Amino acid sequence: MPVLDDLSGLEFEAIMVDVFSNYGYENVEQTPQTGDEGRDILMEETVNGQRREIVVECKHMDQVGREIVQKLHSAALTHDNSAPVRGMVVTTGIFTDQAKEHVDKIRAGGDGMEIELVDGNRLREISEEAGLDLQNGKVELVCRHTLPPGDIEKPVLEQFDSVNNIEPSEIGSIESSVQFYPVVSIEARTDAKFETSVGVIHRVNECDTFHLRGNSSQPKPIDDSLQQFLDDDSHQFVELNDPTVQEGFDSITIERFRHAESDFKEWAADQVKAEHTETVEYTGKNNVDYDKECVPSDSDISITNLTPMYVPRIRSKTRLLEHGYSLEYDAAGENHRIIENGIFRCNHCGWSWISLTYCENCGSINCWRHIRTERVEGTPVCTECAVTGRFALRKRFFYDKENMEQFREEFEQYSPHKMILENRPAIIGFVLVVLVALIYLL
Ligand SMILES: [Zn+2]
Ligand SMILES: [Zn+2]
C-alpha cells in the first residue's frame, strides 16, 4: 500500500488509535512509548456480553514475518489482565505465508490464543467502514452527509425575478454544477483548575465551538458569514449519495477532507489553550506577589463533538439571447448564501443597485443609465444594442433599422407642432429658461 509511507512508526500507531476507536473498539489506548515490545495499542471489545482485551502490534512495513507474530503472541500471553485476551497484528503491507501458518498453529495449539492479522487491504476496508480514508499518508476524515442543495433553480429565478421587464418564460434552461466542500464543526470543553501553595488561583470552565475548513492545507476557521449561515440552518443533513442530492446537476465534485480527525482535534486543542491562557496575579504565603501563566493542559480539554459535513457550492449558468448569467451560492435546503452574483448587475457597467431592467432585444440586464424606451414599441431597450437616430434634435432608440425607418416615415408626416413635441425635454428646458428670464426682467 503506497499511502502512509511518510509516517514514523509512532505516528502510524496514533492513526490506528483513531481507526479502531471509530471502528467501534472500546477504550483504545496507545501504550507509553517506553512500553513493552509487541504491545503498541490496548483496546477492548464485548463479544456475546463478555469483555475481551485485545493486544495490538502495529507494523508500518511492507512485509511482516513469523517473528513478529511470535512476539505478539508472547506479549498477549504475558499481558496482565483479568479478562480474556486476544492478539492482533496490523500492518500497512502484507503477511508472509510463514506468519499466517504460525497463527493457525497457535490457534490449534495448547493456549488456543486467537490472533488476527490485518494487512494493508483489510486495514483500508476497516478505515473506510470507520468513516476514515487512508490518503496522503493520513487517515483522512470521510464524511457521508451534506447540507441539502435544495431547489437548485429557485435562487436563480429569484434573482431574475427582481429585474424589471423579464418574464419567467424568457428564462431558458439553467445549467448547474455543484462542488461539495468540507467543513468540520468541533466542540471542546475545558475544565481546568490552577493551584499554587495558597490554593486555587484560577479556574476555566468553558465550552467552545469551532467551524473549520476541511480542505485547506492547515485546518483553519471558516469566515464569519459562512459561520452565520451554518448557524442559521441547524444542520439538517442528508446522505451525500442519496440520488435526490445529486439530481439536476450537470457536474458534481466532492472534495476530500485533507486531514485526519486527530489533526482537527489537535488544532482545536491548541486554539482552546491560546484562548484560555491567562496570567494570574496572586500573593504567596510569604506576602510576595507573583504572576503565574495559567495554560490549560491536554488533560483539561476534551473534544465533546466533532461533526464533519459537506456544504454544496452551486454554480449556475443561464443564457438569455446574447448574454450569459452566472450565480454562485452555498446552499442549505431553503437557505442560500450568494457568493458571486452575475445576474443582478448591469451588463455594461456592473452597477447593481436598486433597479435593473431587462432588454428583450438582446437579453442584457441594465441599470437606469443604460436603458431607454424603444420609440415604436414603448418597451425598454438597452443603449448597447439599440439603433439610434435624431428626431427634433433628440436622440431616439429603436430595436432595429426597420423600426427606425418606420418611425422616420411617420415622423415626416407629423405637423410642425407635433414634430417639436417629439423633443419634450427641450421644450420644458426652453419654457424654464423663458420663465427665469421673465422673473429676472420683472
Ligand atoms: Zn449600467
Ligand atoms: Zn439590448
**What is the CA(342)–ligand 1 centre distance, in A?**
14
From the list 251, 121, 253, 98, the residue with the least C-alpha distance to 175 is: 251
pTM > 0.85:
no
Give the separation between CA 435 and CA 442, rounded to whole angstroms: 11
113-172 pLDDT, tens digit per residue, is 899 999 887 887 888 788 777 665 566 777 778 999 999 999 999 999 999 999 989 898
Average pLDDT of 58-79? 88
**pLDDT, the chain, mean:** 89
pLDDT of residue 231: 81
Return the pLDDT at 351. Answer: 92
**Ligand showing the shortest atom-to-Cα distance for residue 372:** 2
* C-alpha 372 – ligand 2 centre gap (Å): 10
Q: Where are the domains of the chain?
A: 4-129, 154-317, 345-435
Q: What's the confidence (pLDDT) of residue 135?
A: 62
**Residue 313 alpha carbon to ligand 1 centre in Å:** 28
Q: What is the distance between the alpha carbons of residues 232 and 228, in angstroms, rounded to a whole number?
A: 6
Return the pLDDT at 1: 32
* Rounded distance from Cα 327 to ligand 1 centre (Å): 19
Kindly tell me the burial class for residue 32, based on how many C-beta atoms sit within 10 Å of its own C-beta (0-12, 13-18, 19 or more): exposed
Higher-confidence residue: 63 or 317? 317
Residue 257 has pLDDT above 50, yes or no: yes
Give the torsion sign (CA, 193, 194, 200, 203).
negative
Q: Average pLDDT of 224-239?
A: 81
pLDDT tens by residue, 339-388: 999 999 999 999 998 899 999 999 999 999 999 999 999 999 999 999 99
Over residues 93-101, the mean pLDDT reads: 89
Residue 235's pLDDT is 64
- Ligand positioned closest to the Cα atom of 364: 2
Closest-approaching ligand to the CA atom of 345:
1
Q: Which CATH number fits domain 4-129: 2.60.40.290, 3.40.1350.10, 3.30.420.40, 3.40.630.10?
A: 3.40.1350.10
Minimal CA–CA distance to 368: which of 384, 351, 390, 386? Answer: 351
Residue 394 CA, chain-centre distance (Å), reads 55
Cell numbers describing residue 170: 424568457
What is the arithmetic mean of pLDDT over 16-30? 90
Measured in angstroms, how far is the CA atom of residue 383 from the centroid of ligand 2? Answer: 7
- Contacts of residue 436, defined as CB under 8 A and 6 or more positions apart, other chains included, come to none
CA of 356 to the centre of ligand 1 (A): 9
72-92 mean pLDDT: 86
Contact call for residues 294 and 192 (beta carbons, < 8 A): yes
The β-bridge relationship of strands 41-47 and 26-30 is antiparallel
- Ligand (nearest to CA of 382): 2
Please report the DSSP string for 272-332 in residue order.
HHHHT-EEEEEE-TTS-EEEEEE---GGGEEEEEEEEEEEEEEEEEEEETTEEEEEEEEEE
- Determine the distance separating the centroid of ligand 1 and the alpha carbon of 382, expressed in angstroms: 9
| Ligand nearest to the CA of residue 320, numbered in listed order | 2
Q: How confident is the model at residue 2 (pLDDT cuts 50, 70, 90)?
A: very low
Confidence (pLDDT) at 4: 62
- Cα of 343 vs centre of ligand 1, distance in Å, is 13
Count of CB atoms situated within 10 Å of the CB of 336: 22
